[in-house]
Structure 1
Amino acid sequence: MTAPPFSTVLVANRGEIAVRVIRTCRELGIATVAVHSDVDAGALHVRLADEVVSLGGTTAAESYLDVSKIVAAIEQTGAEAVHPGYGFLSENADFVTAVQQAGGVFVGPPAEAMELMGSKLSARAAATAAGVPTIPGSEHPVVDGDGVRAFAARHGYPLAVKASYGGGGRGMRVVHGDDEADAAVESARREATAYFGEPEVYVERYLERPRHVEVQVLADELGTVVAVGTRDCSVQRRHQKLLEEAPASTISAETADAMFQASIALAKAVDYRGAGTLEFLAQDDEFFFLEMNTRLQVEHPVTEAVADIGTAGRVDLVAEQLRIAAGLPISFEQADLSVSGHAIELRINAEDPRGGSFLPTPGPITALQPPSGVRFDTGYERGDVVSEHYDGLVGKLVVWGEDRPAAIANARRALRELGVGGIRTTAPAHGLILEHPHFVEDVHTTRWLETESTMARALDRLADVPVEAGLPPRRLATVNGRTYWMPDDGPPPQVVLQTAERGADLVSSDGIVRSPMQGTIVKLACAAGDRVEADQVVCVLEAMKMENPLRAGRTGVVTSLEVALGDSVAPAQVLLSIEEDDA
């Protein structure tokens, strides 16, 4: 048996990615240390680890984002290496340095490469220097709407204001005209600060019909860079991915090869090491560099599902990360790789897709029934609680087929067998997506889910579909004397074992603005005595790292304001009242 690359690895994360890393470490014979907040004291990743250290605190800032606490855990346990997972501190160059100063090995790229590629502005500059095509964008940060308007004068609208640090659609706002610029910059800077600790934003051209295509790379200390494969991540809502596929099926072999060469060139140019993802927007046989994620991606399992290395089986990206961090070479070469079949990943998030709102739905999971015969990466079991303080990803349903139609068919079957109780999830939306002709025909784009009228109507109809405990919505039908169970006229495929009540709508017309969910007030846009318009945003509520603008719902005067900035609020709590006026 090959000796493990490390004796002990501290996993500086939570949820399904922490579970994923812990299980791979166990397979490699590596002991693991889990860290946790007070909220996660009994979480699945804690139950699976060999050793546990409490970070205390409730919020991410008080626990998983506190570098000093994690460094103390390294010193306390003597862990040889630290795997950051994704999110939290996974792309924080200061954390890399702190881990190394504490005597540990960071499972990821050098701090210098992370810092260079962590800022989208410097990453764009590096890409341009390496000959990689980039979308026209500002060379310097913008601090207000004037910067956006100046850029628009040269390039036109629409534009995207984007956080320089981080990713996943956080800190991004689309601007369609001069009048939207100030609010977009303000909101993007606020969200970028809250989620990444850095307020810096920049502006770039916004493509109208793009596909989101990624290239997964691995790079070791010997200077070898391997392009493991492509992924298509075009099914998104709020600029965040919901469904991913591998390989990307709409680009030609020539385009894929050009993306591979561009990705390898950029990784070598910045002296990259570890697992990384180059993200591109592809449109009309062109592709443009978007950003580089200097960490493992949420969607990495679809690449693992199709990246064939012959007799060695499939690629294990976490195992390769650990090998590279220990100074070992990548265990395979570019020539060893081939694509086997097609894979689809469905993100099962604690969100209510009814009406297209995708509102967070934290709460206890009263039942969890994974489908058989497919991969389901999760950080939860029955009885666990999805906390409003963290991301709402419950699990990732990963299916494989010999080709894309087979993978879609297998995803439909698996989705019908999935059961989640106590909370609503994105599973019904996935059912609509998998059945829609645009998805089946592979002609959707990154804004399709939110702009395609038939999808919008289908999501609206989800609110009218009855839910039966333990069974998907269906009805009895008798044909020629024989009785059949028939799917109801509305395709949510999830087996909902128990459901939670839906919160109030984002817009109410009764003059009382209520919170649609548990969360935190991060912006107040009015005060008592102010006159507001019906479609005016009166406050912004953050839940599960997502900002939700709440609108007045009627034109009138704010007669009472029941909350203050920073307040935590409960579902259906009254936030403010508006009385109609005669103006």
Structure 2
Amino acid sequence: MKVLIANRGEIAVRIIRACQELAIPTVAVYSTCDRESLHTQLADEAVCIGNGPSSESYLNITAILSAAMVTHATAIHPGFGFLSENTHFAKACGECGLTFIGPTPETIQTMGDKIAARTKMNSLKVPVIPGSAGMLQDYHEAETVAKKVGYPVMLKAAAGGGGKGMRKVTCPEDLKAHFQAAEKEAQAAFGNGSLYLEKIIYPAKHIEVQVLGDGTGQVLHFGERDCSLQRRHQKVLEEAPASSLKQSTREKIRQLAVQAASGVNYLSCGTIEFLVDNHENIYFMEMNTRIQVEHPITEMITGVDLVKQQLRLAQGQPLNLTQAAITFSGHAIECRINAENPRQNFMPNAGTITELFLPQGTLGLRVDSGIYQGYTLPSFYDSMIAKIIAYAPTREEAIMKMQRALNELVVEGVHTNQELHQDLITDPSFVENQYDTAFLEENFLPNWLNN
């Protein structure tokens, strides 16, 4: 096997390192503004695939497949973002004789279409959020469904994610305007303006379960993560396990995740995302058919390298684990460090990193990053530059370790959200595990930004 990594930044570095430890040759692809990126330096080979804008490079299927052909790669790992959940890309890889390191195109298509995914979960007896049975024909149908399930409701793009094409509607008078805005945004972002509607579950926890399948219906779970701390539907900090859940709820949500993934004969790593209300009722949200940004915290509490598991399955090897062999120990927290200015509406901040010191030392501290001192951050891509992961036997100890790591971090030359994380990790509501999906935007940030 020879793996081309169709991605950039820290996830490309992460995959390359896993390949190196398995003695698998690697190929990096890069845009013209990523020529000096760390992933291009660590891979065995590197191929330029276009200009800086993603549409001309990391989203250019023809260029990526051409790079695989000329370097004689046999497999492609898509990482997360970009083409990782693109059905056409996964299918094109197979047509070119390349192994796509992920699920089948059919699975990506089914679970990537939020309406199809809801329908499938209903058939598998996995509870879904109350809402429309399928695609909304117009805002009149949306009115009918909203009245039935009760306000507030959320309009969502059927073909999307990442917060695009989503609108919260709190009263009937606002529905039409929000429907039109969401439809327009979804069309622009995904080429598909289809919308569906769900009741907003509030207050709630955003809980996701890591799964790994062999494509025959055999699926393992690696526990759950609490991803409730979000801004504009983008995760900021995650922790594992979700220690605020009752043990019976934890067991149920893990069982439902396996039930869902087994029902689609899932292959490779994936994540089933749920909402859990304050009565601990569980509702399926969506499935991410790829490795997740926050996969390191699961690796820390299980001791399993999930990327290596993906690579082994892609080589045709059977699962080398059983559910009984997967044990859970300790607590892990991940903070996403972004090059952005939180006090200026979180404006992304490109520029040259003039000074850098990443926290280190002690058992249970991990930093996943693709940056180095002197590196110039391009303006075209996601602002995340590093992930700090702290692990310890208890949640309290993990918080203390993260505090130390955040205080030790030095990034000069660009603005980051370091200060926000430093204050969030010590906030009483976080320390006491008393937070939900609304906490960051409705409670923490308004106070923090005014101080």
1:301 aligns with 2:296: yes
User: Could you tell me how far 1:108 is from its partner in structure 2?
Assistant: 0.3
What residue number does 2:249 align with?
255
User: Could you tell me how far 1:394 is from its partner in structure 2?
Assistant: 0.7
Distance 2:190 2:409 in 1: 33
Q: Cα deviations across residues 230-276 of structure 1 (Å, max 9, x unaligned)?
A: 00001111111000000111112211111121111111111111000
* Shift in CA distance, 11/191, structure 1 to aligned 2, threshold 3 Å: farther
* Shift in CA distance, 197/416, structure 1 to aligned 2, threshold 3 Å: farther
1:337 aligns with 2:331: no
Distance 2:151 2:64 in 1: 44
What residue number does 2:162 align with?
168
TM-score, structure 1 as length reference: 0.74
User: Could you tell me how far 1:165 is from its partner in structure 2?
Assistant: 2.6
User: Could you tell me how far 1:317 is from its partner in structure 2?
Assistant: 0.4
Identical counterparts, % of pairs? 45
Distance 1:184 1:383 in 2: 44
Alignment of 1:211-290 (within 5 A): 211-283=205-277, 284-290=279-285
Task: Specify every segment of 5 or more residues in structure 2 that has no aligned partner in the other structure, as ranges.
Answer: none
Q: Counterpart amino acid of 1:361?
A: N
User: Could you tell me how far 1:455 is from its partner in structure 2?
Assistant: 4.4
Structure having greater relative contact order (Cα 8 Å, sep ≥ 6): 2
* Shift in CA distance, 201/260, structure 1 to aligned 2, threshold 3 Å: same
Return the match for 2:440 from 449, 458, 482.
449
Q: Cα deviations across residues 52-98 of structure 1 (Å, max 9, x unaligned)?
A: 11111221111111111111112111111000000111111111110
How many residue pairs align between the two structures? Answer: 447
Distance 2:166 2:209 in 1: 22
Q: Counterpart amino acid of 1:53?
A: V
What residue number does 1:117 align with?
111
Assess if the C-alpha contact under 8 Å between 1:380 and 1:394 holds in 2. Answer: yes
Using the TM superposition, name which of 335-344 and 259-268 deviates more. Answer: 259-268
Q: Cα deviations across residues 460-498 of structure 1 (Å, max 9, x unaligned)?
A: 22xxxxxxxxxxxxxxxxxxxxxxxxxxxxxxxxxxxxx
Any idea what SS the aligned residue of 2:26 has?
Answer: strand
Assess if the C-alpha contact under 8 Å between 2:216 and 2:265 holds in 1. Answer: no
What residue number does 2:61 align with?
67
What residue number does 2:359 align with?
371
Any idea what SS the aligned residue of 1:213 has?
Answer: strand
RMSD value, Cα: 1.6
User: Could you tell me how far 1:195 is from its partner in structure 2?
Assistant: 4.3
Task: Specify every segment of 5 or more residues in structure 1 that has no aligned partner in the other structure, as ranges.
Answer: 1-5, 308-313, 462-583
1:459 aligns with 2:449: yes
* Shift in CA distance, 406/190, structure 1 to aligned 2, threshold 3 Å: farther
Distance 1:35 1:111 in 2: 22
Assess if the C-alpha contact under 8 Å between 1:220 and 1:327 holds in 2. Answer: no
1:316 aligns with 2:280: no
TM-score, structure 2 as length reference: 0.95
Any idea what SS the aligned residue of 1:228 has?
Answer: strand
Q: Cα deviations across residues 501-559 of structure 1 (Å, max 9, x unaligned)?
A: xxxxxxxxxxxxxxxxxxxxxxxxxxxxxxxxxxxxxxxxxxxxxxxxxxxxxxxxxxx
Q: Counterpart amino acid of 2:332?
A: A
Assess if the C-alpha contact under 8 Å between 2:4 and 2:26 holds in 1. Answer: yes
What residue number does 1:93 align with?
87
Q: Counterpart amino acid of 1:223?
A: G
Assess if the C-alpha contact under 8 Å between 1:432 and 1:455 holds in 2. Answer: no
User: Could you tell me how far 1:127 is from its partner in structure 2?
Assistant: 0.8
What residue number does 1:576 align with?
none
Any idea what SS the aligned residue of 1:78 has?
Answer: coil
Q: Cα deviations across residues 273-310 of structure 1 (Å, max 9, x unaligned)?
A: 10000000001121100000000000000000001xxx
Write 1 or 2 for the structure with the bigger share of helix.
Answer: 2
Any idea what SS the aligned residue of 1:226 has?
Answer: strand
* Shift in CA distance, 197/323, structure 1 to aligned 2, threshold 3 Å: farther
Distance 1:231 1:175 in 2: 28
Any idea what SS the aligned residue of 1:55 has?
Answer: strand
* Shift in CA distance, 72/430, structure 1 to aligned 2, threshold 3 Å: same
Q: Cα deviations across residues 2-39 of structure 1 (Å, max 9, x unaligned)?
A: xxxx2x10000111111100111011101111111122
Distance 1:279 1:221 in 2: 20
User: Could you tell me how far 1:386 is from its partner in structure 2?
Assistant: 2.4
What residue number does 1:184 align with?
178
Distance 1:131 1:279 in 2: 16
